[in-house]
Structure 1
């Protein structure tokens, strides 16, 4: 077989060429196309592009975050075009703030970053009783967001820089001219107010109310005169265990009570006996009496060997049992 291949090497190379080249054309170009699609720009911020791959990865992290907070959310809502567009808009906003912070030279120092991380309640929960940070759990926290600890800290640093861009805008306010005029006029306005008091006692004598009027008003407003039903209950709990715990009986009192009630506490002695009867008449021959005696001795030895079998032995062998 190897001789055939060696003698027809040119033919074999031609066959391999025909098999390999089409496969490369069909699969290699398609893989290259997918790679270029992932690298295609979906948005530009200050000359920097956001690629399709970055968008997909950011949306995946956002979906994982939402599912961790709301496990019962419908997956179709998270995979909708609107949800993906919201992720892209968030990425654009973050890039815009990052560019603004860079142009305004708003840099977050290491001390500011360390202070923010120390005040973060999530990171504070990763500290042990000795106050030291559990680095393994810290790496797991960063990995849950698809980042290394260094990448996580870089993201926090970028967020702090972005806040410096928004802080002056949020703290400032530019009132409109109409708003300023309205506030100024309200401050400069002057008004005259006259007060007239009406005392109830001055009109009480002039009011005449009949029983019919009172009854009609009561029926129309019965709920206003209804008070909440209540009851005062007192009860006494007799707990025998609690009473027993509070009672102490000296030994002398017990002895005295026993001596005074000896007749009532002492019972008559009783005994209960059981036997196995092996019958032999008085006038029976000596051989028959010897036979009965031998049987009785045999049963006695059997019962002594196994006392618990007495009832069963008596039931089977006694001529008459009595207890």
Structure 2
């Protein structure tokens, strides 16, 4: 719900610690709140259905988010079916968590009151103009997101109720100030060190590789020296978009479509509604008495807006004279029925809904209107052309299927049958597939036994509901072991590097033994570094890691470590504690809180899953 509101405003509502949880709730959409669905179930959580359509919808949103995040790299990611299936599974798991939290909140009878709803709405920066809450912006954004004001408030109540539950769960763990201070001190600690760096490259001139060693290495490790399999394809593709220029629509059909689908081009009647509302609560009689007293004053001629400000328990709309903005007849609840049973300017009797009593007034009315044919003719024609192209697409699909099967040794006849061309690709490997054929189904078919081994056309490949392709092998170069003559220099370099690394290790062990024994080491440079931090980048990371693992106060406790370039002997000289870490405490506490909160959230959801009945009927 909040996701739709935020799309136009980029505001933030929840505290940082709850943002991920609240967004999880927003992912569920409004389907489960507004009514049941006949959609196929993807998951059933304790009897509550999460439909396949819900999962599909949220997966599409997640896919769009990834596309925005990764840009040009997204196509490569999307072509990995395992990765995308994991993304979909993650969406499904979030929806399951949302359902479990909703059910638990309901079992605990948690509810957020109207004053809290009002406060949260007023605090939402999405509804602010010049730093202040603006009712017109509030109404406009809620309406543009597809909600009535009452719907939005009730859905926000659901979100905040969940937030209340999760706030208790993840707020039960907290970071002590002393704990955060100790961690900050460790992170900011500096060390003085000294070390001898032995680079294997310095020993390369002392080693060589014999012909026998080269031959032996080649024989044992021939798998390192293979070429990549290469393939080029011929293919025929069929796309609805390419068929638009090959179909036409008569103008009379456009007119017929307009007249038979007038409802699509009509804007419904709208009514501007105000109300005075009273919560039923536990004492219905008292609520009825208050509503009757208010109705009597309305019927006596007192100003409705003034009474709403004075009496309505929906304080948010009450401050605006009870205004709920425009409504259309898009629901069958008692409130909507009452609204559309009134004349313009009329006031209702008391209307009872699930949790409230209302006195309703129609303050304005806009009758239904129909767009003129000329205004929508172009749009209708485009739709009919697309439908005609799809019908033609299905016809050609069958022809393509039949011909590629009947004539498996080439694609020429299949292309001619659908009035298309045979296209081709250059040679490519599995890691460098041309964009025009870079689809998971196409790659699987291209490297299949049917195409490579049997040398026949592939089956028709469904790339999307509006895009098909058939491929066949044009040229295939299998992977093979390169001749030893081609990789001889590469093997020599490998063997020399191995031998040089061994010499470096031997020399390092000699230096290390001398260092531990307190003996002088001649002809070598001992590097001294002061104020080394855990994130120092001018020293090999292995040396830094070793230095911060060494205990202070232990003399002559040098260590021998492997580095990216060879070996090193490392010794700790001094530890410099960070005493003033006040500026870092807040970020450390936030980070630790986030970690603990994530762990608490996961543990809570896991515990709910263990005692729940979760079924996957479509799996």
Q: What TM-score comes out, normalization by structure 2 length? A: 0.19
Q: Report which structure shows greater RCO (CA 8 Å, sep ≥6).
A: 2
Which of the pair is proportionally richer in strand? Answer: 2
Comparing both structures, which one devotes a greater share of its residues to helix? 1
Structure whose alpha-carbon radius of gyration is higher: 1
